[in-house]
Amino acid sequence: MANLTLLFLTLTLCVASTVQRQLVLEDINGKQNLEKDLNIVHYQPEQVHLAFGESVLDIVVTWNTRDNTNESLCEYGIDSITEQSAKAAQGPTAFVDGGAQKATQYIHRVTLPKLQANTTYRYHCGSQLGWSAIYWFHTALNHSNWSPSLAIYGDMGVVNAASLPALQRETQLGMYDAILHVGDFAYDMCNENGEVGDEFMRQVETIAAYVPYMVCVGNHEEKYNFSHYVNRFSMPGGTDNLFYSFNLGPVHFIGFSTEVYYFTQYGIKPIVMQYDWLERDLIEATKPENRAQRPWIITYGHRPMYCSNDNGDDCANHETVVRKGLPGLNFFGLEPLFYKYGVDVELWAHEHCYERMWPMYNYTVYNGSLTEPYVNPGAPVHIISGAAGNHEGREPFFKEMPPWSAFHSQDFGYLRLKAHNASHLYFEQVSDDKGGVIIDSFWVIKEQHGPYTP
């Protein structure tokens, strides 16, 4: 009798297990069939971000959708978002990731032209198939007699984005007129068939949907010939976002690519084109009438000319390719070019640290004076702020620091710039490790701007 009972229980369990497996298979098949039947689409805008257009009063709104909406619209206004609307003439453009899945998404770009200066606008973007949340931004003044504030950093990823919470809060409190992200995004935007890039852009939407998010390319964007960088961002000038300039207050900003010097498998032509463009831009910016209006020239590129990091990077070596030009030829080096046209400040990232240098050229310090090194300095001031947070960790420094290094820190953090007027710039480095404490601050003061005298 006991054996019959055991046999009955075993048969019952087997039948139950078979039925359970069948139900699970039916559930999976049902979901798959449901998705096919519903033909699920993704028309909702995401990854919204802003940039300056050809003028600081032209704002470019960029966003993504998973599926093609066939139109790109932005509604905006001062009192109501329905006061004005703008539409992209060509609609969205398809962007196909270079990974195995060839994942496709649609990039939307709409320019809001000729906005009123010093005015807060509310906006949302999308199409008749779906709209974003409502965001706001405050426009700049289109002249030099005001004092813009910027946050500056590089090397911020999805994992360990140390500076992101503070930047989100400060941006939405209206502390900044623009953001400079000096290369290396997400780590890496192309990973997981582009899904890491999507997640990064969703995270920085909480900054970039409220203030122009101006960028330059870093080494981590190289995959598929920088296609994620080129397609996801919208910078002025129509040069695939690799080099461009804009004016903000008393400053002429120049963003450029250091990566053309390192990824030469894409050809030498990008180096030549960029160098020629840089010189033309500097010639224009240093015309007496233009420099009188915007005396400060600030450049930003990813890989620095100088650094004190003990990690094998070429900025710790004597002959940096960005500084000196192509190896063996010394063609297209940027240090002599920037010195010739009197660039005031050069901003860098790449090294996961903060480092401020004394004014220097060709490894020689040109302080204004012993007691006031940044008052009328005789060479550009180099600053590295590449510590916004990433999974690769912090950078070590040499045990014996070089004489041209004025201050250095391994703390995660970001740089602030206040361009007070034609003669005074103020910088401060914020430490995320120390809860927002200012770990370094200094003024650059110039009574006159122009080419340096050797």
Kindly list the domain boundaries of the chain, sorted by start residue: 46-138, 144-445
Asked if the model's pLDDT at residue 36 lies above 90, the reply is no
Asked if the model's pLDDT at residue 427 lies above 90, the reply is yes
Band (pLDDT 50/70/90 cuts) for residue 330 is confident
Question: CB-based contacts of 198: which residues, under 8 Å, 6+ apart?
Answer: 46, 47, 64, 105
- At residue 211, φ and ψ (nearest 5 deg) are -150, 145
- The topology under which CATH files domain 144-445 is Purple Acid Phosphatase; chain A, domain 2 (3.60.21)
- The topology under which CATH files domain 46-138 is Immunoglobulin-like (2.60.40)
Q: How far apart are CA 11 and CA 219, in angstroms?
A: 63
Query: Mean per-residue pLDDT for 94-104?
Result: 96
Range 203-226 burial, b when 16+ CB lie within 10 A, else e? bbbbbbbbbbbbbbbbebbbbbeb
Structure tokens at 271: 């180096």
What DSSP element (H or E) covers 244? strand 244-248
Give the pLDDT confidence of 169-223 residue by residue, as tens digits.
999 999 999 999 999 999 999 999 999 999 999 999 999 999 999 999 999 999 9
Q: Are strands 59-65 and 46-52 parallel, antiparallel or unpaired?
A: antiparallel
**190 touches 274 (CB < 8 A):** no
Asked if the model's pLDDT at residue 17 lies above 80, the reply is no
Band (pLDDT 50/70/90 cuts) for residue 7 is very low
Radius of gyration of the chain (CA): 26
Asked if the model's pLDDT at residue 371 lies above 50, the reply is yes
Q: Are strands 84-87 and 424-431 parallel, antiparallel or unpaired?
A: unpaired
Q: Are strands 296-300 and 251-255 parallel, antiparallel or unpaired?
A: parallel
Q: What is the pTM of this model?
A: 0.91
Q: Which among 51, 50, 37, 46 is positioned nearest to 69, based on CA atoms? A: 46
Asked if the model's pLDDT at residue 24 lies above 70, the reply is no
Query: Mean per-residue pLDDT for 22-36?
Result: 50
% of the chain surpassing 90 pLDDT: 87
Question: CB-based contacts of 207: which residues, under 8 Å, 6+ apart?
Answer: 164, 167, 168, 171, 179, 213
